[in-house]
Amino acid sequence: MKRFKPKTSIPRRFSFVSPGPEVKFGQHVIPRDNKLLKKIGVRPGSRILIFAGGFGDWANQLGRYAKIEYSDITQEMAEWVGAYQKRIKKHFVADAMTIPKRKRKYDYSFSFEPTIGSQALSGAMQRALLNNVGCIIIEREGFTSLFGTDIRALMQSISRIYGARYEERQTIVKGIFHTQRVKNGGRDKIEEIPLVTYCLFTNDSARRLAELDLLMEKLLRERQPTKANAELVPVIRNMLRKSKITIGALEQSLQRIRDLKNIIKG
């Protein structure tokens, strides 16, 4: 089937052309490295969910070696990626903090310099605990995002709350900058680019706790939005009486949810 082609070669409101690679919108590195998977610690053939995927350059490159599903919150961007990034076979519109929706569908959630705030990013990390392996987020050394989101601190906090393993790596990846391509008249100048890889590795316990907390958060939003968390414990326990979840487990879940909110506010 012939792909739909958007009218513009690049979404107009995302054309962040800047004089140098320090542009704060991020996602201006296009990887051109045959050893990309090895350098970021991903096995060939892995199932990867791309969130806040932007231009899809990383998703397209990872699609050479892994099974990719791309997402972005903006429909215009998702349509452009579906039309022009040839290795991306499945793309859809989604808020990063709402995917994945079920456990063990993917091995990893992945994003390169996600241009989203702390709330959305913490939600994406929390949901990544449902995966088989976890979450990988990459950024350039010294990069500061438009929202000022501290990926390291946020992922370390999620790791502590859920008992998941946190790992940080420095690596050099061959690639090009969008901005340099513009300055070079469309010609590619491959450079060695220092990157930081943040990894969150899930486990059975973290996956189970995250699944419970996501259900609790849904009930808190939909069922009794005006009541204090403490008052909701017996209500929720009654809803979940068939699932053999104890009152202690519910109280611990509410505490984790409060901890997450405090991290975002902090």
pLDDT digits (tens, 9 = 90+) for 98-154: 999 999 999 999 999 998 999 999 999 999 999 999 999 999 988 887 788 899 999
Predicted pLDDT of residue 192: 95
Cβ atoms of 134 and 164 within 8 Å: the answer is yes
CA–CA distances in Å: residue 180 to residues 98, 187, 231? 34, 9, 57
pLDDT tens figures, 11-55 = 544 444 433 434 444 577 899 999 999 999 999 999 999 999 999
pLDDT, average across residues 246-259: 91
Predicted pLDDT of residue 17: 40
CA–CA gap between residue 137 and residue 151 (Å, rounded): 8
Percent of the chain with pLDDT over 90: 64
Cβ atoms of 81 and 53 within 8 Å: the answer is yes
Q: What length is written for the chain?
A: 266
pLDDT, average across residues 83-94: 94
Predicted pLDDT of residue 218: 86
Predicted pLDDT of residue 145: 78
The pTM assigned to this predicted structure is 0.86
Percent of the chain with pLDDT over 70: 78
pLDDT tens figures, 172-216 = 999 998 766 555 555 678 999 999 999 999 999 999 999 999 988
Instruction: Tell me the pLDDT band of 246, cut-offs 50, 70 and 90.
Output: confident
Between β-strands 108-112 and 191-201, what pairing exists: parallel, antiparallel or unpaired?
Answer: unpaired
Across the chain, mean pLDDT equals 85
